[in-house]
Amino acid sequence: ILNVEQSPQSLHVQEGDSTNFTCSFPSSNFYALHWYRWETAKSPEALFVMTLNGDEKKKGRISATLNTKEGYSYLYIKGSQPEDSATYLCALIDGQNFVFGPGTRLSVLP
Amino acid sequence: GAGVSQTPSNKVTEKGKYVELRCDPISGHTALYWYRQSLGQGPEFLIYFQGTGAADDSGLPNDRFFAVRPEGSVSTLKIQRTERGDSAVYLCASSHSGGAYDTQYFGPGTRLTVL
């Protein structure tokens, strides 16, 4: 069973701070990693699909990097805003389905 | 365009009852997934449909859980003899073709509470 870990479990930052968190996974048999943002009472929203070692993706103030050799991906948020408060999930492909990590719950305080 | 929808948004039932949860995927998406999310955990895979057939049902916890997708669009997750441990948010997602690089688009979930 593929084991996907995320750290930290939760994070509180002040508005304007930059922050980052980690998704860790076994480095063997890597196919793709997906990042999602899940705001309370909404649907999980796709952020990035990362496939190649060294990939860097950016969407506004959010960016992500991927290291498949050492088995981790970082998600960065620059200048956090209250609307960034959400649970950030990473998921890896295992066979034909996704295996999700437990998520990092981010709270941005105004 | 319309996203993935799920009904009901909330369902409260008593232990031992039967429940059905419905998912309407994005039109044209051949792949459909069901997940279950318990408090403090990430979504846990239950079953994956490719068209009308269940391509992978290895995540269904036991034979009380069953899902169908008879016409390759709408799917229903059925839970018999519900138990308190079945309480969770049930998420449905669809993707264009089900490949590893395909983004899965999620519905808002059905929160099931078994009393």
Segment B10-35, tens digit of pLDDT: 999 999 999 999 999 999 999 999 99
Confidence check: pLDDT of B40 > 90:
no
Q: Do A99 and B4 touch (CB under 8 A)?
A: no
Chain A residues within an 8 Å CB radius of B107: 43
Q: Please report the pLDDT score of residue A94 as a whole number.
A: 81
- The region of weakest confidence among A23-32, A63-72, B19-28 is A23-32
The average confidence (pLDDT) of chain B is 94
For residue B85, which phi and psi values (nearest 5 degrees)? -70, -10
Of B40, B101, B108, the CB nearest to A42: B108
Neighbour-count burial for A55-91, b at 16+ CB within 10 Å, e otherwise: bebeeeebbbbbebeebbbebebeebeeebbbbbbbb
Grade residue B1 by pLDDT with cuts at 50, 70 and 90: low
A47: chain B residues, CB-CB within 8 Å: none
Percent of chain B, pLDDT > 90? 90
Q: Over 90: is that where the pLDDT of A70 sits?
A: yes
B106 closest CB neighbour out of A6, A44, A97: A44
Query: From CA A88, how far away is CA A6, in angstroms rounded?
Result: 9
Q: What local confidence, expressed as pLDDT, does residue A68 receive?
A: 94
Q: Nearest-CA distance from A3 to chain B in Å?
A: 12
Residue B7: strand, helix, or coil: strand
User: Which candidate in B4, B35, B38, B45 is best for mutational testing of the A interface (most A CBs within 10 A)?
Assistant: B45
CB contact under 8 A, B56 and A51: no
Where does B29-100 show beta strands of DSSP type E?
31-37, 44-50, 53-56, 65-68, 75-79, 88-95
- Give A28's pLDDT tier (boundaries 50, 70, 90): confident
User: Across the interface, do A99 and B56 touch by the CB < 8 Å criterion?
Assistant: no
